[in-house]
Amino acid sequence: MMNKNTVLAWATFIMILVGLALIALGAFRYDDVAGWGFAAVGIGFFAIAWVFNALKGRM
């Protein structure tokens, strides 16, 4: 069974994967201004994943 900490751990892992994918899209797929947007959103996903990781054990 999944408790709150397990759910937050999976959410952190998935957010890191999506963040890496968005940064990779920005770096390798789009060469114009859209690439900067994808990379910025990917960094935002990292920030949210960091918050999820910090919440583990506190909720």
Res 13: pLDDT: 95
Phi, psi for residue 57 in degrees, rounded to 5: 85, -10
Res 4: pLDDT: 87
Host domain of residue 27: 4-55
Give yes or no for a contact between 52 and 16, defined as CB atoms under 8 angstroms apart.
Answer: no
Is residue 59 over pLDDT 80?
no
Phi-psi region of 57 (alpha: psi -120 to 50; beta: other; left: phi over 0): left
Res 17: pLDDT: 96
Give yes or no for a contact between 28 and 42, defined as CB atoms under 8 angstroms apart.
Answer: no
Res 26: pLDDT: 93
The string of pLDDT tens digits covering residues 12-54 is 999 999 999 999 999 999 888 999 999 999 999 999 999 988 9
Phi, psi for residue 45 in degrees, rounded to 5: -65, -40
Domain count, the chain: 1
